[in-house]
Amino acid sequence: MAHSAANPAGDLISQILQALDKSEPLVSADAFPAAPFVEIKAALDRLKSRDMVRYDTIERQEALLEPEGEEIAANGSHEARVFEAVQKAMEGLSVKELEETIGDKNVVKIGQGKAFKEKWISKTKDGKFKAIAESIKDVTRGQLETIKTTRTHPNAKTLADLKKRKLIRMQKVISFRIHKGDKFALEIPDEATDLTADMIASGSWKTATFKPYNFKALGAAQMAGALHPLNKVRAELRSIFFEMGFEEMPTNKFVESGFWNFDALFVPQQHPARDLQDTFYIADPPLADKPRAESPDDKKDYEAYWNHTKAVHQDGEFGSIGYRYPWSGDESLRLVLRTHTTAVSASMLHKLAAVEGPDGRPPPARYFSIDRVFRNESVDATHLAEFHQVEGVIADYNLSMGELMEFMDIFFGKMGITGLMYKPAYNPYTEPSMEIFSYHAGLGKIVEIGNSGMFRPEVLETMGLPKDMRVFGFGLSLERPTMIKYGISNIRELLGHKVDLNFVQNSPAVQFGGKA
């Protein structure tokens, strides 16, 4: 049994089948010029899914008249109208008289210049226009009439000139060349979508036509939550750290005292990083408490740590001559939005100093953190006032700079980044320090990917760590690898109110390549 739908789409399907039965192939633009593109495409797709037709897409450029072109096609070109008006006046026309005769100053302004150029008119001694040609051919009008009828012109240069004069516009038109399919028929057969018990009992399934499965059809959109691209990259980095035996540090304090953020890391109180133009300070409360135990189990001597920190800055201690300036306790207790997660690393290393391993000394440790930090920076395409820092710290005995470089090769190798290059750098709390670079094939240049160094004795021995315990740290931003991974050039498209939610929803999962 077959059916023909009673709706407009069904009527169009029937028209296509009837026309194709009479003539093959069929061009949709010629056979159904008034049918909307969307309806034609829907009808053909429905027939194609049943193998009743097959079609090819035809794309072509059509020329359409602009309003001024429509006027010229109807009334003649500006220059032709000027000539006709002047020709009718036996004694010629002045500019004012010509404008009154034609009724459009713009036509006179444009038309007289072209008429002079074509040598159709001339100017008399008394300033009037006079016709000097017996007859003319209005080429522009003829061209536009041809285009209006055929929607094209055999001369491509003519089309380009008319488009430049803004008399026509080009428009892409899509049509279809339609052929009969393997199952062509004049009506769409009924198709069963389910095999029912009644069909099995009656045996009608043997002759029934079943609708085929469309395995290419997209599933229904799932309105589910989605991880932000930063969280996807963060999750991958965390898995790398855990794989390498790191412990995650607690980073739930966005506000730190200047002591942990700067002084414990041997950053002098006159350092530019502590200026208002680089750091966000908290106005209320104005000062933090001095470092103190945060739980009954914490038995460390914080007063001694405070005094050692003051001494190593002001007078020098543990073999260091210090910075030799009057160290201020109030400056150390000013509250800041942390400028780096190394403030957390300092606290963790201080706690490590009180831990006794099997040999009575602090045991080796590996810590990492990935969290938000804040800098008072001008916002541009690559900088925000807040970003995420990825940091790792390794503490062990008798470590060397070579081991730090070897570890960097392994760590970044797990991210698919190889061929690292190192450049000496300066950090107040690490010495020696290195910036880490690598060639990025996508960007076609060498880019900085991180910073690293060995913590200074002024930082470690002040905490109470043994002289032979070495600590090296490294860090990078979370935003940079995310931007590179997803091809983002403006950081404001990754964070903030300009983020495209569709990008968040559809961004693919992250898996770093490469083998360590």
- List the pLDDT tens digit at each of the 516 positions of the chain: 444 444 445 588 888 888 888 888 888 888 888 888 889 989 898 888 888 899 999 888 888 898 888 888 888 888 888 888 888 887 778 888 887 888 888 888 888 888 888 888 888 888 888 888 888 888 888 888 888 888 888 888 988 888 888 888 888 888 899 999 888 888 887 778 888 899 899 998 888 888 777 788 888 877 778 888 888 889 989 999 999 999 999 998 899 999 999 999 999 888 887 786 678 888 889 888 888 888 888 778 888 989 999 999 998 888 889 889 998 989 999 999 999 999 999 999 999 988 888 888 999 999 999 999 998 877 776 667 888 899 999 999 988 888 999 998 998 888 878 888 999 999 889 989 999 988 877 667 888 888 999 999 999 999 989 998 999 999 988 888 788 778 777 888 888 787 888 888 888 777 766 443
Predicted local distance difference test score (pLDDT) of residue 46? 85
Six-digit token string for 505 = 């929803």
Strand spans (E) along 187-254: 188-189, 247-248
Predicted local distance difference test score (pLDDT) of residue 165? 86
Contact call for residues 502 and 348 (beta carbons, < 8 A): no
Q: Which contiguous run of DSSP H or E holds residue 502?
A: helix 501-506
**Rounded Cα distance, 423 and 434, in Å:** 5
Three-state DSSP state, 174: strand
**How many CA atoms, within 13 angstroms, populate the side-chain half-sphere of residue 315?**
6
Question: How far is residue 380 from each of residues 306, 343, 377, 384, 445, measured CA to CA in Å?
Answer: 39, 26, 9, 7, 21
**Rounded Cα distance, 328 and 324, in Å:** 12
Three-state DSSP state, 212: coil
**Rounded Cα distance, 364 and 134, in Å:** 106
Q: Using N-to-C axis directions, what is the helix angle for 78-88 and 139-150, rounded to 10°?
A: 140
Contact call for residues 490 and 381 (beta carbons, < 8 A): yes
Contact call for residues 374 and 254 (beta carbons, < 8 A): yes
Question: How far is residue 508 from each of residues 203, 375, 390, 482, measured CA to CA in Å?
Answer: 49, 30, 21, 12
**How many CA atoms, within 13 angstroms, populate the side-chain half-sphere of residue 214?**
12
What is the edge-to-edge ordering of all strands in the sheet holding 26-27? 26-27, 168-180, 53-65
Three-state DSSP state, 201: helix
Contact call for residues 109 and 154 (beta carbons, < 8 A): no
Residue 331, judged by CB atoms within 10 A of its CB (0-12, 13-18, 19+), counts as: middle
Contact call for residues 428 and 270 (beta carbons, < 8 A): no
Question: How far is residue 118 from each of residues 73, 80, 126, 291, 474, measured CA to CA in Å?
Answer: 19, 10, 22, 94, 78
Predicted local distance difference test score (pLDDT) of residue 516? 35
Contact call for residues 55 and 178 (beta carbons, < 8 A): yes
Please give the DSSP secondary-structure letter assigned to residue 463. Answer: H
Predicted local distance difference test score (pLDDT) of residue 4? 44
